[in-house]
Amino acid sequence: MVKSTIDRYGQIDILFNNAGFGRVDWLEALDPIQDIERQITADLLGVIWTARAVLPQMYKQRSGHIINMSSIAGWAAPPLYSIYSAAKFGIRGFTEALRRETAPLGVHVSAIYPGSSPTEFQKHMGENRAKKRFSTPEWLRVTPEEVAQGVVDLARRPRRSLFLPRIMGLSVFINSHFPGLSDRAQMKAFAPYHEQDLK
């Protein structure tokens, strides 16, 4: 992919790392290979490998922008999303380190942290026994078009990170500064169903 892009255009201006999927269930119910290993490989290692592949060309150009798709789950991890959140936390750390590594050579590195969005992601979540007590309110959701526009805006004006919708930054603040409150809210949504599943 990288070679064919260079052969055709002579340079690589932007890499948007967006491939990934999520398997959502209680950890002990996840298949070690299909649900855990494959998810880490696609969601985290795929991002790392692809970024690594474009860097020699971007360094040669002394320009370029790597945009990594993370998730709000990469800041505030909900129950059932243990592996998905692990990958997205990994992307956050990878993006931060790589941004500091590449900046002296003219390459920007950013991350996007969207909340819930109606995409193909839900189709690949797999069957699970766990049920949420309530779903994400409509006003906290973001459309695929809004995410796409966020990517374009970030490409035009590089910065460290972008939360979508922007109010999701508040949940990150609460999770960081009031973790007990965040724990209670999320456990209230999921924990009672785990007890039922174990019976």
Q: Which residues are catalytic?
A: 84
* CA dist list (Å): 160 to 74, 92, 97: 15, 10, 11
Find, among 17, 141, 122, 142, the residue nearest to 69 by Cα: 17
| Packing angle, helices 46-61 and 2-9, rounded to 10 | 30
First to last CA, the chain: 49
**Coil, helix or strand for 70?**
coil
Q: How far apart are CA 142 and CA 121, in angstroms?
A: 13
